[in-house]
Amino acid sequence: MSASPTLAPAALGSFTPEVFAAHLASVSHLPAWWLDRKRAAYEKFASLPLPKRTDESWRFATLTGLKLDGYVLPAAVTAAQLGHSPIGIAKAGKLVLANNRLVAQEPISAELAGRGVIFETLQNALLKHGDLVKAHLLAQPAKQGSEKFSALHTALLNDGAFIYLPRGVELAEPLAVFHYAHGAAAAVFPHTLVIAEGNSRATVVDFFRSADDGAHFACGQNDLYAAHGAQLTYTAAQTWSRETLSFQSNSIVARRDARVQSFNLHLGGRQSRHESHSELQAPGAHSEMLALTVAHGSQEFDQRTLQIHQAPHTSSNLLYKNALLDQSKTIFSGLIVVDPDAQKTDAYQSNRNLMLSDDAEANSLPGLEIQANDVRCTHGATSSRIDPEQEFYLQARGIRKDDAGELLTFGFFEEVLSKLASEPLHDAFRDLIKTKFKK
Partner 1 sequence: MSSLEIKDLHVSIGEKQIVKGLTLTVRSGEVHAIMGPNGTGKSTLAKAVAGHPSFTITSGDVLLDGRSILAMQPDERARAGLFLAFQYPSEIPGVSIANFLRAAVQARMGEGEELDATGYYKRLYSKMDLLKIDRKFTSRAINDGFSGGEKKRCEILQMAMLEPKFALMDETDSGLDIDALRIVADGVNALRSTNLGVLMITHYQRLLGYIVPDHVHVMWDGRIVKSGDKSLALELEAKGYDWVKKELVRA
- Residues in contact with partner 1 by CB under 8 A are 387-390, 392-401, 403-404, 407-408, 410-415
Residue closer to partner 1, measured from CB, 4 or 390: 390
Report how far residue 40's alpha carbon sits from residue 155's, in angstroms, rounded to the nearest whole number: 8
Residue closer to partner 1, measured from CB, 60 or 410: 410
Residue closer to partner 1, measured from CB, 349 or 409: 409
Q: How far is the CB of 412 from partner 1 (least distance, A)?
A: 6
Report how far residue 24's alpha carbon sits from residue 172's, in angstroms, rounded to the nearest whole number: 38
Residue closer to partner 1, measured from CB, 152 or 417: 417
Report how far residue 190's alpha carbon sits from residue 100's, in angstroms, rounded to the nearest whole number: 7
Query: Is the distance from CB of 316 to CB of 278 less than 8 angstroms?
Result: yes
Q: How far is the CB of 46 from partner 1 (least distance, A)?
A: 48
Q: How far is the CB of 325 from partner 1 (least distance, A)?
A: 18
Residue 158: burial class (beta carbons within 10 Å; 0-12, 13-18, 19+): buried
Report how far residue 102's alpha carbon sits from residue 84's, in angstroms, rounded to the nearest whole number: 13
Residue closer to partner 1, measured from CB, 44 or 430: 430
Report how far residue 305's alpha carbon sits from residue 249's, in angstroms, rounded to the nearest whole number: 10
The closest alpha carbon to 410, from 389, 394, 398, 424, belongs to 394
Residue 25 contacts by C-beta under 8 Å, 6 or more apart in sequence? none
**Per-residue buried b or exposed e for 196-216, using 16+ beta carbons within 10 Å of the residue's own CB:** bbbbbbbbbbbbbbbbeebbb
Q: How far is the CB of 102 from partner 1 (least distance, A)?
A: 39
Residue closer to partner 1, measured from CB, 94 or 321: 321
Question: CA–CA distance from 200 to each of 109, 115, 191, 197, 320 (Å)?
Answer: 17, 12, 21, 6, 27
Q: How far is the CB of 303 from partner 1 (least distance, A)?
A: 21
Residue closer to partner 1, measured from CB, 15 or 413: 413
Question: CA–CA distance from 259 to each of 198, 203, 270, 280, 282 (Å)?
Answer: 11, 12, 33, 10, 11
Q: How far is the CB of 274 from partner 1 (least distance, A)?
A: 24
Q: How far is the CB of 346 from partner 1 (least distance, A)?
A: 25
Query: Is the distance from CB of 211 to CB of 98 less than 8 angstroms?
Result: yes
Residue closer to partner 1, measured from CB, 296 or 352: 352
Q: How far is the CB of 173 from partner 1 (least distance, A)?
A: 24
Residue closer to partner 1, measured from CB, 346 or 415: 415
Report how far residue 312's alpha carbon sits from residue 315's, in angstroms, rounded to the nearest whole number: 9
Quick one: how far is CA 151 from the chain centroid? 16
Q: How far is the CB of 394 from partner 1 (least distance, A)?
A: 7
Q: How far is the CB of 406 from partner 1 (least distance, A)?
A: 9
Residue closer to partner 1, measured from CB, 3 or 428: 428
